[in-house]
Structure 1
Amino acid sequence: MTFDPTGHLLLTPVDREAPLRVRRLRELGFGDRPDPAFDEFAHRLAEVTAAPYSMVNFIDENRQFFAGLHTPTGEYHGSDLTAVAAATGEVSRFMARDHGYCPHVVVRRKALVLEDVCDYPRFAGNPVVDEIGIRSYLGAPLIDRTGVALGTICVVDTEPRPWGRPGLETIKGLAAELMDQIHRREAGAM
């Protein structure tokens, strides 16, 4: 976390690992195109948590890319998630790095549970609250065998959700499961 010269809290944490992450994502061939296996995983994640939105998210220096995405309508449009129209539920696979909570999860390298983002001043001012209507978040980092945090898996809702410890354990277990799949995929490509 940093502050701007006017004394306002900047919501996006400093990410010193981003260049290493980008190199690793390129090695794996992730981060720039949708992947049906990741879409399937995001769909399963939504089913397990009963969340309307779920993502397999890879983060570079400037943006987030949802290589796996589940939405209530199954549609993805627009230039980024800020283009979401509440009435249509349209979602894109890209979002600015300063939107949402996944950049915090990647930098912290720990799961994050926000049952109601408005209860946390540090997170309540994030653009996804006003622009998209996000009220709850549950995410875990995807840390690969080299120790690089590649991105996250996460679920979000437009209503507060009592995720609690069961939600935390679920998201962490699913992140480990996806990393196993990624490692198997990498081993098969070698």
Structure 2
Amino acid sequence: MFNHSSSDQARLDSLTSSGLLSGKTDMDFDRVTALAARMLKVPACLVTLVDHDRQVFAGACGIPEAYAEKRETPLSHSFCKHVVTLRRPLVITDARTDPFVMSNPAVTELGVNAYLGFPLVAPDHHIYGAFCVIDVKPREWTEEEIALIRDFTAIVAEQIELHVAKRRERTITDVLIHDLRSPLSSIRLISGLLTEQKIPADRLQALGGTLTDSAERIAHLLRAVEDLHRDEAGGCRDLGRLLDSHMNEIGDTALEKGLSLRREYTAYPLPIATAEWVIGQIAENLLGNAVKFTPRGGEIRVTIGSEGPSGFFTIEDNGPGFQADDYPRLFKRYARLSALPTGNEISTGLGLSIVKRLADRAGGSVTLLSKPGEGARFKVSFPLGLSLR
């Protein structure tokens, strides 16, 4: 079982509310897994959903008959659970000798040996599970095979996003239909009485109050629907302090690669009218990319400032940056871009898409300032906190 931290509980709640665990969806992931298995010439391929004590197969090809019928295994037999907790791809060439997974019962009981899995990211950025391929013998996964699984993962993630969006809209519609009936019935009844002029004078005030209450209930429902489409409220009192905490988190990794971290804060403290978790997620992804793509001995520079009603920060590295061909797909999910990590890491192609989606939903913006061939330099802007507006 997972250690039920608040963040993982939020992930589990999101997975449950998605309806995917029931298996009653119009998505045929079995065909996708069969196609991937044929293309990579592997005996098994899975679309997994990692629950609190089990791994559910939303799509499966080549698994033993007993598990194919139940479409799940205990979490003890899951490699995909590591993809969820690590939030990155997992590449295993020989599970029998890999200390990370060699004690997993799937190795001896199911014959799992080589494994390649990518995280399935939900619309709310939780990791629901993984898209993975499995071999029963040791295997060195090639760069092209890794790229193909990334692309298959993108296809499945897009289908999950459409499913979740449709389910969300159906829920909102059902709530509105149900909860609007009562106040609308009251309004219709009073309207009829007014039209027929059958209301005693002493009842007019009471009926007027009922009309007001009904209108307020409708307004409340509409506000609730609006809130469903907004991110959590809140703000960041000190952008510099928040960025410092995330820079400290990458400090050891940067040190191992011989990278220097440089801060240039022209406004300090700087309050931002955006929830800290939103800014934190954006900073974590951009800083993580900077560490991943900056060569040994390089520098990562973070600046903070304000312009009119907006506060901003930039994150800059002296890595390979981007080529002109990268620009059209820069913020797409699971995108394959030209730059390669400098420490043999595997890029999911998710970081920049998460940054873009979070910034847009929070009313901010993210812009690539660097030109092709230069080190990557991103600028992220949000409305200032009230104290500086």
Distance 2:78 2:161 in 1: 27
Taking the TM superposition and a 5 Å limit, the aligned residue runs for 1:32-181 are 32-33=22-23, 37-71=28-62, 76-77=65-66, 81=67, 92-181=70-159
AA aligned opposite 1:61 = H
Instruction: Point out where structure 1 has 5 or more consecutive residues left out of the alignment.
Output: 1-11, 82-89
Q: Please give the TM-score of this superposition, normalised by the length of structure 1.
A: 0.77
Given that 1:71 and 1:91 are in contact with CA atoms closer than 8 Å, whether structure 2 keeps it comes out as no
- Report if aligned partners of 2:2, 2:53 keep a CA contact under 8 Å in 1: no
Residue-by-residue CA offset, 1:7-65 (whole Å, 9 max, x unaligned): xxxxx774634422222222221013265512122212212221111111001110100
What CA distance in whole angstroms lies between the structure 1 residues aligned with 2:24 and 2:62? Answer: 14
**2:85 is aligned with what amino acid?**
V
Q: Name the SS of the counterpart of 2:154 in structure 1.
A: helix
> Which ranges in structure 2 are unaligned for 5 or more consecutive residues?
170-389
Preserved contact between residue 55 and residue 68 of structure 1 (Cα < 8 Å): yes
CA contact (8 A) 2:46 2:61 kept: yes
Equivalent residue pairs, number = 166
2:147 alignment partner, SS class: helix
- Note closer, same or farther for the CA distance 1:130–1:110 as it changes in structure 2 (3 Å cut): same
The equivalent residue for 2:225 is none
Instruction: State the alpha-carbon separation in 2 of the partners of residues 174 and 145 from structure 1.
Output: 17
Higher helix share: 2
Please list the CA deviations of residues 69-124 of structure 1 after superposition, one character each: whole Å capped at 9, or x if unmatched. 1117xx732xxx5xxxxxxxx67411111213100001111111111112312211
Distance 1:91 1:185, change over 3 A: closer
Q: Which structure exhibits the higher relative contact order, with contacts defined as CA atoms closer than 8 Å and separated by 6 or more residues?
A: 1
Whether the 8 Å contact between 2:95 and 2:113 is mirrored in structure 1 is: yes
Asked if the contact 1:42/1:69 (under 8 Å) is kept, the reply is: yes
User: 1 CA distance for matches of 2:99 and 2:10?
Assistant: 31
User: For residues 130 and 60 of structure 2, what CA distance do their matches in structure 1 show?
Assistant: 12
Q: What is the distance in 2 between the residues matched to 1:104 and 1:13?
A: 10
Q: CA RMSD in A?
A: 2.3
Distance in 2 (alpha carbons) for counterparts of 1:97 and 1:34: 21
Q: SS at 2:29's partner residue?
A: helix
When residues 128 and 174 of structure 1 are mapped into structure 2, their CA distance, relative to the original with a 3 A threshold, is same
User: Hey, what's the Cα distance between the residues in 1 that align with 2:70 and 2:120?
Assistant: 21
Rg larger for: 2
Equivalent pair of 1:111/1:168 in contact (CA under 8 Å): no
Q: 1:98 to 1:27 in 2, by over 3 A?
A: same
Scaled by the length of structure 2, the TM-score of the pair is: 0.39
Give the Cα separation in 2 of the matches to 1:15 and 1:141: 19
Deviation at 1:167, TM superposition (A): 2.3
Say if 1:32 and 1:67, in contact at 8 Å, map to a contact too.
no
The alignment partner of 2:35 has SS state of helix
The letter of the residue matching 1:76 is: E
> What percentage of aligned pairs have identical amino acids?
28
SS in 2 for 1:123: coil
